[in-house]
Structure 1
Amino acid sequence: METPLLQEHIEPNLFKRSLLESKKLWQIAGPAIFTSICQYSLGAITQTFVGHVGTLELAAVSIENSVVAGLAFGVMLGMGSALETLCGQAFGAGQIRMLGVYMQRSWIILLCSALVLLPIYVFSPPILILFGQTSDIADLSGKFALWMIPQLFAYALNFPIQKFLQAQRKVMVMAIVSAVVLVIHVVLSWLLIFKLGCGLVGAAISLNLSWWLIVIGQLGYIFATTSDGAWTGFSWLAFKDVFDFVKLSLASAVMLCLEFWYLMVLIVITGHLTNPLIAVDAISICMNLNGWEVMIAIGFNAAISVRVSNELGAGNPQTAKFAVMVVSITSIALGVVCMAIILITRNDFPLLFTSSSAVAKEVTKLSGLLAFTMVLNGLQPVLSGVAIGAGWQALVAYINVGCYYVVGLPLGLLLGFTFDFGVEGIWSGMIGGIVLQTIILVVVTSCTNWNKEAAQAESRVKKWGGSTGED
């Protein structure tokens, strides 16, 4: 059984400290990044295959994947992220048996949330039309959304499982399962969409099956190994303190959903522009690529969340602070590399996603904004991971509302429609919101009293652990 983290002796030399912390971060971030890329690639690869079927089909799958499923993804990931705070700090404090109970509570909450979200899938055509999508795109997107309902319930089980495993640093298990499923998904998508000519039906079958294989594979590992004592079987304790658990889950969901939906709104707004089919396809391709890079940042988000929560739970506040500094520098450097790749290949990469020269030309025009967004992606998700690890979800939710929806979104609408800059103006304004939010989070993190955060973590572990009746 893994033991609680102990106060670690760290070399006084800054370079050696940085290398040691970087090694710890990459041990978590490397497999987590790989897992995120593999799982994101499931939808992205489906879009790529469908993009060679037709422009209407590509728009329909892009809208469903980015807006309908994207909304559900944001809610489920956000609700599940409460476990990053609770499981991470409990693991750091040595309360190993509580992790399985927390995961079961999260399953209950997320499955109920999936039922609440179900009408959005069922009534997606009129909802999309209300937000300005053309009827042909909305109708086909709605049909595809109905076929993708099984994915919604896979999300509800998957995210608590992942947070459960991440808190224990068992990220390699997730990476292996995701890699195997990705290979199956590519072969199955090619077979159903191209070879058998099943089109969107084949895409839905392949995508649903792949997400459920991920859930089954991870659960198989947990049930077979008991995860070093963190899983002790199903327990009625999962139904205790559900209301308090819901409050933390909702704060996590609001915080992350406001971030995930922000750029998804860009696709919806683009549907109001002249020639929306070309514009939607172009921005969807950009968001597809942006999403891949975000998956790298999410890996660092997971890593810093685990490091901060584990160290605060173990009473090591200065180690948590140093981890934040190291991961911030690392992720920014990777963001700059991604920006350079986009700018160098801006005339070539669009052809991987579409056969339409008009769409490819529009994507090339947007490559500068895409490149700058990738730099921001290097730091912003990391700061959100710090917030999750420390339990600041409610504070960051308020910051996100102000920066994204009071500043960024109105500015984007002003530039895009009033000043007639089109999709470039909409995106530029929304980038302004991300920049403002990032600056505020940098200030908040820099001014944090980490000793106080460690004391709050100890109080949180006692509160949640003490209410279960387990020693």
Structure 2
Amino acid sequence: MMKIYFKKIEVIKQRFVELFSNMPNNNTLNETEHPLIRSTPPQPSLFQRTCSESKKLCHIAAPSIFTRLAMFSITVVTQSFAGHLGDLDLAAISIACTVLISITFGFTLGMASALETLCGQAYGAGHHRMLGVYLQRSWLVLFLSSILMLPIFVFAAPLLKLVGQPVAVAEQAGLVAVWLIPFHLSFPFQFTLQRFLQCQLKTAIVAWVSGVALAIHVLVSWVFVYRMRIGIVGTALTIGFSWWISVLGLLGYTLFGGCPDSWSGFSSEAFVGLWDFFKLALASGLMLALENFYYRLLLIVSGYMRNTEIAIDALSVCVTIYGWESMIPLAFLGATGVRVANELGAGNAEGAKFATVVSVVITVLVGFVFWLIILFFNKNLALIFTSSSSVIQMVNELSVLLAFTILLNCIQPVLSGVAVGSGRQAIVAYINIGSYYMVGIPLGVLLGWLLPSAIVGMWTGMMSGTVFQTLILAIVTMRYDWQKEVRKAQILIKEEASSNQ
């Protein structure tokens, strides 16, 4: 009996041994063998995501801000030297730079943003070699376009007289415009090289080259104006000289080893798809040209006012300060375009959307800071450009309008940057036409007629057009289907790759 009992115990013991031997050992248990205790990596908080995205944006935008400020300051330095030559010289170079150059500058800069779309998406998808092909394609299209715009400079004097500018100002501005042609011809190479390098996050070299160009320009301007006393023609020539110094610096870096992955030499592939690139570039050019020229219309209106030279000088100071500050939102336009294009090219819809939100918040904060600066230092703004008490007084009167214009124009460039990153420049061009030229200008003319000060009324109406434009762009951006944008970007990249093969 006892033998039977011990035998049963032995059988039960054997079964327990078999059972426990088949169970996983705690020492060897891993996440894949037991789903109940599988650990997931902690998701970053909203604050951490915001900080990370802000760093990525600022990594692109900060050197770009310095670059834009440095290159724009070349024109500002020139206007400052011209302002101390006389009121007529300041009025002439202000008209030439803030009206004539702004047309070609805005159009060429906008056309270059097509490169931002294509290079940004190709870089995000890892097709680095295509960036060099796109760069060469952009040189062909933009340089031919800049040649077609030369009549604006050749016939500047009669065109300015036609729109009502005083004869003396128009003649002097026409003289300056001819000597600004080298400056104009640098745009196709300057803007495309900047975007080519920016899309690869090589922004530091662009900033260094721009800083060197600005330092050279200050020195050359001082020599030409004060030592050699060449006058207004010398000041105009120094702008083109300094911009070409920057172009040669960026070109040397690109061609001689700075971009081994994206530049593999000149290629016949640059001649493939020129028409498609031109259509995208044309929409981009119209988008930015219409926006860039909008507030410059105030200078043309000032030609019909009393004390014409003083009005032109005061408005040119305001427009120059506005343009100076707008380099920051425009840098975020570029940064947003690159970030959105990179994320769409990589197939990350959520990342593109989040980059948009963070960029809008940052630029609004920047705009508010400049709004405060202009309101607090309104009496000292014009001293940088002129010593004329009448011009300083008029700038002081217009400073409140200037402050609110700057604040309003901080959101719109970022929303345009989203369109650039996703290749929707044509939509923004239509919105700009409707908002600026069908709402802002007519309302500005009406208020200019109703209010005691024509220039204040005109400016107020044009600000209303900016508000209308910003609201429409915000609605369009909020209704984006980001997954659809990802699919579009990937299809475009595949089509480009197959066509070049």
Q: TM-score, normalised by structure 2?
A: 0.90
* RMSD (Å) for aligned C-alpha atoms: 1.2
1:395 equivalent in alignment to 2:452: no
Letter in 2 for 1:414: L
Query: What is aligned with 1:46?
Result: 78
Query: What is aligned with 2:320?
Result: 288
* Structure 1 position 420, deviation (Å): 4.2
Work out which of the residue numbers 279, 302, 307 in structure 2 matches 1:247.
279
CA contact (8 A) 1:312 1:320 kept: yes
Query: What is aligned with 1:232?
Result: 264
Is the partner of 2:379 in helix, strand or coil? Answer: coil
CA distance in 2, matches of 1:429, 1:83: 34
CA contact (8 A) 1:80 1:106 kept: yes
221-230 or 178-187, larger mean C-alpha shift: 221-230
- The higher-RCO structure (CA 8 Å, 6+ apart) is 1
Is the partner of 1:229 in helix, strand or coil? Answer: coil
* Structure 1 position 353, deviation (Å): 1.3
Query: What is aligned with 1:452?
Result: 484
* Structure 1 position 12, deviation (Å): 3.2
Work out which of the residue numbers 189, 195, 204 in structure 2 matches 1:163.
195
225-234 or 130-139, larger mean C-alpha shift: 225-234
CA distance in 1, matches of 2:216, 2:489: 41
List per-residue Cα deviations over 1:345-388 (Å, max 9, x = no partner): 01122122111100100000000000001111221111111110
Work out which of the residue numbers 414, 418, 421 in structure 1 matches 2:453.
421
Letter in 2 for 1:146: V
Matches within 5 A, 1:93-108: 93-108=125-140
Query: What is aligned with 1:92?
Result: 124
CA distance in 2, matches of 1:72, 1:453: 31
CA distance in 1, matches of 2:278, 2:367: 34
CA distance in 2, matches of 1:465, 1:142: 47
Query: What is aligned with 1:121?
Result: 153
CA distance in 2, matches of 1:316, 1:418: 51
Letter in 1 for 2:265: G
CA distance in 2, matches of 1:336, 1:414: 29
422-431 or 213-222, larger mean C-alpha shift: 422-431
206-215 or 188-197, larger mean C-alpha shift: 188-197
1:277 equivalent in alignment to 2:309: yes
Work out which of the residue numbers 13, 38, 52 in structure 1 matches 2:45.
13
CA distance in 1, matches of 2:104, 2:211: 23
CA contact (8 A) 2:409 2:466 kept: no
* Structure 1 position 150, deviation (Å): 0.7
Where in structure 2 are there 5+ consecutive unaligned residues? 1-40
CA distance in 2, matches of 1:417, 1:51: 31
CA contact (8 A) 1:157 1:215 kept: yes
1:110 equivalent in alignment to 2:142: yes
Query: What is aligned with 1:432?
Result: 464
Letter in 1 for 2:212: V
Query: What is aligned with 1:3?
Result: none
Matches within 5 A, 1:24-39: 24-39=56-71
Letter in 2 for 1:220: G
Matches within 5 A, 1:62-81: 62-81=94-113
Query: What is aligned with 1:442?
Result: 474
Are the structure 2 counterparts of residues 10 and 122 from structure 1 closer, same or farther at C-alpha, using a change threshold of 3 Å?
A: farther
Letter in 2 for 1:354: T
Query: What is aligned with 1:149?
Result: 181
List per-residue Cα deviations over 1:412-441 (Å, max 9, x = no partner): 111123544221111111011011100111
1:306 equivalent in alignment to 2:338: yes
CA contact (8 A) 2:450 2:457 kept: no
Percent identical pairs in the alignment equals 48
Query: What is aligned with 1:136?
Result: 168
CA distance in 1, matches of 2:456, 2:498: 53
CA distance in 2, matches of 1:233, 1:209: 27
* Structure 1 position 196, deviation (Å): 1.9
CA contact (8 A) 1:10 1:17 kept: no
Query: What is aligned with 2:497?
Result: 465
List per-residue Cα deviations over 1:35-76 (Å, max 9, x = no partner): 010011010110011111101000000010011111110111
CA contact (8 A) 1:11 1:17 kept: no
Where in structure 1 are there 5+ consecutive unaligned residues? 1-8
Query: What is aligned with 2:10?
Result: none
Query: What is aligned with 1:194?
Result: 226
Work out which of the residue numbers 238, 251, 255 in structure 2 matches 1:219.
251
Query: What is aligned with 1:6?
Result: none
Query: What is aligned with 1:315?
Result: 347
Query: What is aligned with 2:415?
Result: 383
Letter in 2 for 1:355: S
CA distance in 2, matches of 1:187, 1:417: 46
CA distance in 1, matches of 2:396, 2:166: 24
* Structure 1 position 403, deviation (Å): 0.3
Is the partner of 1:448 in helix, strand or coil? Answer: coil
Following TM superposition, the consecutive aligned residue runs of length 4 or more in structure 1 with deviations greater than 3 angstroms are 9-12, 417-420
